Amino acid sequence: MSNTSLLNETHNPALRSWVESANVENCDFPIQNLPFASFKTKASDEEFRGGVAIGNQVLDLQAVFALNVFEGDVQVALEACSKAQLNDFMSMGKHFWSALRQALSQALTQGSALEVKLIDCLVAQDSVEYALPCHIGDYTDFYTSIHHATSVGKKFRPDNPLLPNYKWVPIGYHGRSSSIEVSGSDFKRPKGQTKAPTATEPSFGPCKRLDYELEVGVFIGNGNDLGEPINIEHADDHVFGICLFNDWSARDIQGWEYQPLGPFLSKSFASTISPWIVTSEALAPYKTAWTRDLADPQPMPYLESQQNRAQGSLDLNLQVLIATEAMRKAEQAAVQLSQSNFKDSYWTVAQMVTHHTVNGCNLRAGDMFGSGTQSGPNPEEAGSMLELSNAGSEPISLPNGETRTFLEDGDCVIMTGWCKKDGAARIGFGEVTATILPAS
């Protein structure tokens, strides 16, 4: 299957919107994007409702529904998007997602007769606050970057860094959805048990090795019935879209607790997602070929398809920046810690969906997958401080003279992402940010 077969008029790079801010070069939210979020006006008693980003504005979908200027499936989709959480819309499936996207694209295009009505449905992004876009019933964290898995494995298991199942199975664990919050939700440094290598017994106190993890969040749309696996040929049809995801990690707590069952309190204290879900359809132009090294085991038949080989990867640039408390007080800009790309992932989104359901597990609308930390093959592409600082042994120097091995109180971590290629419009994901507060 070629990339072009997935494209339609909504992807036309020549499209321009009557919302002029959407036409600015390198804008995250041009008319070719149209991602979804749940929002309301800041400090208001309004209800949260669905919105679509266009330029520096939010199109209020509840207000658009009330206008009654659309009909049929589009109006049905708008009614679902009028709610505080988007689960009902996500569960409707690809037909409804695509119908609404096409209608909004046409309505927001320069020259649209609907401009005079829709202009009153716009709210400036700098005047809104966000909620989680949907109820996240279940959350599974995968481990899809072989570069991260190998690098971290060397630090935790120097004699056996990459476990033998890694190249056969898309590894994952069931995480804690209750502590996932939307960008801007600051959190307290976690406490827990840790054990220093030289100590005979563990001790209790605030985490000393707090880290970020640069991940992609994958949102399930329409799910599957219990006992009915999703075939890899249809896996993409069940993915509503993706966001940016920071899966904060307490490395010293993790090192003591993770054997034999894996992460627990080292991960469940906080996770942060960007407010905007960029839809699978918007990402179609940036899908690219996926390959597996011929020296490695090739995927089992249920994880293999021609479509996955042709378009399983996603060319998504990912960036991490830091703004320390001292930097903010001095009004200094955030600085980059690393940059990587999701196309370096060892397993694809379709393989994650397929493997998750192959035993009959049922997925539901709003379920979220974490991709696992996305690190590239080069040291500067590491998606965590554990890797960047070589487990704390090589401090990272910041331009203002500060150094970091792990995160300190007052540090604000900012993650961004964007897709860009010749022949397509650049689209972005906005930001996911949060600041670390002192432990209680």
Q: Which residues are known to be catalytic?
A: 148
Distances from the Cα of 171 to the Cα of 233, 320, 347, 372, angstroms: 20, 24, 9, 9
Distance CA 51, CA 123 (A): 9
Q: Of 176, 205, 144, which Cα lies nearest the Cα of 265?
A: 176
Distance CA 346, CA 167 (A): 8
Is there a contact between 313 and 341 (Cβ–Cβ < 8 Å)?
Answer: no
Distance CA 18, CA 370 (A): 36
Distance CA 259, CA 168 (A): 21
Residue 81's CB: how many other CB atoms inside 10 A?
24
Residue position matching structure tokens 């009654």: 68
DSSP 8-state symbol, 390: T
Residue position matching structure tokens 């919050």: 181
Q: What sign for the dihedral angle of Cα 156, 355, 176, 139?
A: positive
Structure tokens at 88: 């009902």
Distance CA 414, CA 337 (A): 10
Q: Of 92, 94, 59, which Cα lies nearest the Cα of 76?
A: 92
Q: Of 217, 230, 210, which Cα lies nearest the Cα of 140?
A: 217
The C-alpha angle with vertex 112 and arms to 110 and 114, in degrees rounded to 5, equals: 130
Ramachandran bin of 392, using left for φ above 0, alpha for ψ from -120 to 50, beta for the remaining angles: left
Distance CA 417, CA 204 (A): 37
Distance CA 304, CA 252 (A): 37
Structure tokens at 233: 């040929």
Is there a contact between 105 and 31 (Cβ–Cβ < 8 Å)?
Answer: yes
